Amino acid sequence: MAVADDPQGAEQTWSVQDVWWSWVLTGNSLPGLCWGPWDQGQPEVLPKPSIQADPGTMVAQGSPVTTWCQGSLMVDVYHLYKEKGSIYWEAKTPQGSRNKAKFYFASSSSSDARQYQCAYQSRNGWSVQSDPLPLVLTGMHRKPSLSACPGASVPQGENVTLQCRSEVQSDTFHLCKEGSLAAPQHLRLQDPAPPVQANFTLRAVTSAHSGTYSCYSSQSTAPHLLSLPSDPLELLFLGSSWGLRTPPTCGSSTSAE
| pLDDT tens digits along 172-223 | 999 999 998 888 999 999 988 999 999 999 999 999 999 999 999 999 999 9
Residue 154: per-residue pLDDT: 93
Residue 17 confidence (pLDDT) above 70: no
Structure confidence by residue, pLDDT tens digits, 33-58? 334 444 445 567 889 999 999 999 99
Mean pLDDT of the chain: 80
Rounded CA-CA distance 93/122 in Å is 11
Of 173 and 84, the structure prediction assigns the larger pLDDT to 173
**Measured between alpha carbons, how far is 247 from 158 in angstroms, rounded to an integer?**
9
Whole-structure pTM value? 0.72
Cis peptide before 247 (omega within 30 of 0): no
Residue 122, pLDDT score: 87
Give the mean model confidence (pLDDT) for residues 225-253.
74
* More reliable by pLDDT, 131 or 16: 131
Instruction: Give the pLDDT score at 250.
Output: 65
pLDDT of residue 182: 86
Nearest residue to 139 (alpha-carbon basis) of 28, 229, 251: 229
Determine which helix (DSSP H) or strand (DSSP E) holds 219, and give its type and residue range: none
Q: What is the pLDDT of residues 101-113, one digit of tens each?
A: 999 999 999 999 9
| Range in 72-86, 98-112, 189-203, 230-244 with the lowest mean pLDDT | 230-244
